[in-house]
Structure 1
Amino acid sequence: MERSYGRAFLPIITSAHLANDFYMMILPPLLPLLISTLKLSYFLAGILISLMLGASFVASPLVGYLADAKRCRRSVLSLGFLIYGLGTFSLGLIDTSVELALICVLLGVAQAAYHPQAVTLISASSKGSEGKALGIHGVGGSLGHFVAPLAVGYLFSTLDLRSGLAFLGLLAILIGATLRLILREPEVFKAGKLAKTFTLNLVLLTVVSSLRDVVYRSFTSFLPSFFVAQGRMLLAAGALTSLMLVVGSVAQPLGGWLSDRFGRKAMFNASLALLTLSLLGFSAFKGVWRLAFLPLIGFGVFLTFPVALIYASELAGGGGAGAPVGFMFGTSQLIASMGPALMGWTIDAYGFEASFYLMVGAALAAFVSSLTLPKRNAAA
């Protein structure tokens, strides 16, 4: 693959990651508008986020395995952007929560198309330095997470909802078409038997990643709504949310590099301890002081994003990376999908402050679970 791309491959796939994670994150900053327009409760809004993540769970392992087996990874990856485009464009046409639910399912399927294929492409081009390469690749994802709330806040402060979503939808389709033209299929990583993929260590990693993602998905889903409920404008709420997300551009390459040197388990242990303590600080402090903990929360989450992907491919029982990464990523989405609904219900019943302590408990559970991960990067 390196002979085909030269040094251009990593910038290309990192840019694709930026675009993918941007579209993964456009719904949370839109929630305040959708809640107001469709008269949704926080619980129902959380259910809709959960539905999107659940759809990703159903699609991810199957899509990853089939992309390996049929050697159509670039087509699957590009198709995800087409689905993002259709779903985003359709968001501007809805009038009911049922229509919104259908679009959430569509967006969840789109989420399933990128990460398993990207890990395979990167692993084929970065032998011996997969953690470092995935960390650099993670910078794109972090920038996508960071840009999304800012762009949504700015776009919908200058355009009406339908026009803004139409623009974003057409942009996603254009990105998908471009990637289909410039990406190439790797010659390696044939799919193994699907049943052999699911080792005990892969399941343990999936549990840890899932608990981390419960915190991340729940917290970021309602953080913009929390700031809006405090009286801030949508643009300001997006900017404050980005305080947590921007650090991923440093944390992901750092986490990948450190995991190559000190081991995947050590990175999970350290980052999840940081996540637990920083969430506790955010929950305990009030006012402007709590904002100082947002970058630390971001570090606690993002340090292990690239680590989890390469760790999953290492802990599998053989074959391509698509199926194990799809299983880990998709199952994490399923378990994480319970978080926004539970956090939304907690907000409705007890308020935002109680929901933040709920996230502290989930982060602590993730840290304790990470202690069971294997020290060696091997299947078992």
Structure 2
Amino acid sequence: MGRAEAGIYAIAWSHGAMHAYLVLLPALAPLIKAEVGGYALLGALISLVFLFYGWGSLPVGLMADRSRKKLMIALSMLLCGVSSILIGLAHSLPLLGASLILLGLGASLYHPPGYAAMALYTSEMRGRYMGIQGLGGLIGMALSYITATSLGAVIGWRATFLLWGLIGVATGLLDLLIIVEPESKTQGERHREWISLSIGLRRLIVVFAIIILSGALWSGVSSFLLACVNEVKGVQLLLAGGLSTISYTVGSLAQFIGGELSDKKGRRIVILTGFAAYSILLFALTKAPRSLPIILLLLILLGFSFYVTQSPINALLGDISPRRTIGATYGFNFAVKYGIGSFTPALAGYLTARYSMDYAFYLFSLLSLAAFLLSLLIREER
């Protein structure tokens, strides 16, 4: 394996580590809720992380076009690691809140330079590279769920955060050694990119509306899925963590498959199919009996149907963005995706406290239906 290829996998693993931190809090929610005062406040704390994580991507995107991308990726890992350690040590609500804000800021440093670097490495196989990127992200989430629930039940949620903090620091140091900075482009390529942008602007409103809904779905479902399986469906916590891990493992494969299919069949059809299935499956989860095989099947299908859409969406953004400003494009992408989408955990927490957790999943199903309807408007130049 050459250094450039090793750098690609380092970027993908860093993506996984970053997402691992974002799901640690939801994964450990059944253990943390009593200490912070219930799901309403816990949902607000989770939204706080996503708020800074999402909107922090906007200035980071501008920085990514002017700074070394590998340094920003490494700094993201270091800040995530340090903040995770602080969360594990926090014994007051203000300190916990401040540590979660730092975690959100650290996570916000990853996406614009990480996705810009991947998009700059290739144009012919952009869907595949986005699939590798997504594969890393979902593997990290899967590892986070299984380690959080297994370790959390044995050593407690604080020690689990401390352990993941050390992983983040180590990952940041390795990134500095392994990642290769992508090359700049020629003037001729820049001219062609501006022509591409003039075409892509016609699709931006639709694409970014879909992105906002996708972010709302990700932050909401990832925050409440394990709690739903554990508390509503009656699955023991450790087993619920294992089932969630299976869902995200399937999702990691779906990221790669979605990227490959979008290179060959087009972005639109993959996105449409995924969101349609996801809406139906989210609603079906609320009606499913307390049957372990049925819950397992639903989680597998949920993981595949949502994450098969993600690589095509990210590749579509690369298709319509000039490469010299691609960091800003991805920065705006993740700002609106997770910044505006950050409201979902708080709203889902309110619906759960006021009515039941089923109502949170009704909301998620409607959001996916809206994403499907908007995807009908996508027009591709292939």
TM-score w.r.t. the length of structure 1 is 0.90
Task: Give the match for residue 44 of structure 1.
Answer: 41
> Do residues 294 (structure 1) and 299 (structure 2) align?
yes
Contact map agreement 1:265 1:370 (CA 8 A) in 2: yes
Task: Give the match for residue 201 of structure 1.
Answer: 203
Q: Report the alpha carbon displacement of residue 56 of structure 1 after superposing the two structures with TM.
A: 1.7
Task: Give the match for residue 100 of structure 2.
Answer: 104
> Do residues 177 (structure 1) and 173 (structure 2) align?
yes
Q: Report the alpha carbon displacement of residue 249 of structure 1 after superposing the two structures with TM.
A: 2.3
Q: In structure 2, which of residues 267, 270, 290 is the aligned counterpart of residue 267 of structure 1?
A: 270
Classify the secondary structure of the residue corresponding to 2:89.
coil
> Do residues 73 (structure 1) and 69 (structure 2) align?
yes
Classify the secondary structure of the residue corresponding to 1:301.
helix
Q: Report the alpha carbon displacement of residue 201 of structure 1 after superposing the two structures with TM.
A: 2.4
Q: Distance in 1 between matches of 2:157 and 2:295?
A: 31
Q: Distance in 1 between matches of 2:301 and 2:71?
A: 37
> Do residues 82 (structure 1) and 84 (structure 2) align?
no
Q: In structure 2, which of residues 268, 276, 279 is the aligned counterpart of residue 276 of structure 1?
A: 279
Contact map agreement 2:4 2:179 (CA 8 A) in 1: no
> Do residues 329 (structure 1) and 334 (structure 2) align?
yes
1:153-172: CA deviation from partner (whole Å, max 9, x where unpaired): 12222324443322221221
1:123-149: CA deviation from partner (whole Å, max 9, x where unpaired): 232231111122123211111111111
Contact map agreement 1:212 1:366 (CA 8 A) in 2: yes
Deviates more, 1:22-31 or 1:80-89: 22-31
Classify the secondary structure of the residue corresponding to 2:311.
helix
Q: Distance in 2 between matches of 1:130 and 1:26?
A: 30
Q: In structure 2, which of residues 237, 248, 251 is the aligned counterpart of residue 248 of structure 1?
A: 251
- Structure 1 pair 317/183, CA: closer, same or farther in 2 (3 Å)? closer
Q: Distance in 2 between matches of 1:211 and 1:307?
A: 15
Classify the secondary structure of the residue corresponding to 2:60.
helix
Q: Report the alpha carbon displacement of residue 54 of structure 1 after superposing the two structures with TM.
A: 1.1
> Do residues 125 (structure 1) and 118 (structure 2) align?
no
Q: Distance in 1 between matches of 2:308 and 2:183?
A: 30
Deviates more, 1:26-35 or 1:197-206: 197-206
Counterparts of 1:129-168 in structure 2 under 5 Å? Answer: 129-168=125-164
Task: Give the match for residue 12 of structure 1.
Answer: 10
Q: Distance in 2 between matches of 1:281 and 1:27?
A: 26
- Structure 1 pair 355/7, CA: closer, same or farther in 2 (3 Å)? closer
Structure 2, unpaired ranges of 5+: none
Contact map agreement 2:120 2:323 (CA 8 A) in 1: no
- Structure 1 pair 237/38, CA: closer, same or farther in 2 (3 Å)? same
- Structure 1 pair 162/280, CA: closer, same or farther in 2 (3 Å)? closer
Q: Report the alpha carbon displacement of residue 253 of structure 1 after superposing the two structures with TM.
A: 0.8
Q: Report the alpha carbon displacement of residue 265 of structure 1 after superposing the two structures with TM.
A: 1.7
Residue 153 of structure 2 aligns with an amino acid whose one-letter code is S
Residue 57 of structure 2 aligns with an amino acid whose one-letter code is S
Q: Report the alpha carbon displacement of residue 318 of structure 1 after superposing the two structures with TM.
A: 5.9
Residue 280 of structure 1 aligns with an amino acid whose one-letter code is F
> Do residues 60 (structure 1) and 63 (structure 2) align?
no
Residue 116 of structure 1 aligns with an amino acid whose one-letter code is P
Task: Give the match for residue 217 of structure 1.
Answer: 219
Q: Report the alpha carbon displacement of residue 200 of structure 1 after superposing the two structures with TM.
A: 5.1
Contact map agreement 1:116 1:322 (CA 8 A) in 2: yes
Q: Report the alpha carbon displacement of residue 280 of structure 1 after superposing the two structures with TM.
A: 2.2
Counterparts of 1:351-366 in structure 2 under 5 Å? Answer: 351-366=356-371
Contact map agreement 1:38 1:96 (CA 8 A) in 2: no
Classify the secondary structure of the residue corresponding to 2:325.
coil
Q: Distance in 2 between matches of 1:77 and 1:189?
A: 21
Task: Give the match for residue 114 of structure 1.
Answer: 110
Deviates more, 1:365-374 or 1:196-205: 196-205
Q: Report the alpha carbon displacement of residue 6 of structure 1 after superposing the two structures with TM.
A: 4.8
Residue 226 of structure 1 aligns with an amino acid whose one-letter code is C
Residue 227 of structure 2 aligns with an amino acid whose one-letter code is S
Residue 33 of structure 1 aligns with an amino acid whose one-letter code is L
CA RMSD of superposed structures (Å):
2.4
Structure 1, unpaired ranges of 5+: none
Residue 242 of structure 1 aligns with an amino acid whose one-letter code is T
Contact map agreement 2:61 2:327 (CA 8 A) in 1: yes
Deviates more, 1:341-350 or 1:57-66: 57-66
Deviates more, 1:272-281 or 1:307-316: 307-316
- Structure 1 pair 122/156, CA: closer, same or farther in 2 (3 Å)? same
Q: Report the alpha carbon displacement of residue 235 of structure 1 after superposing the two structures with TM.
A: 1.7
Residue 14 of structure 2 aligns with an amino acid whose one-letter code is A
Matched positions, count:
371
Classify the secondary structure of the residue corresponding to 1:92.
helix
Contact map agreement 1:50 1:340 (CA 8 A) in 2: yes
Task: Give the match for residue 341 of structure 1.
Answer: 346
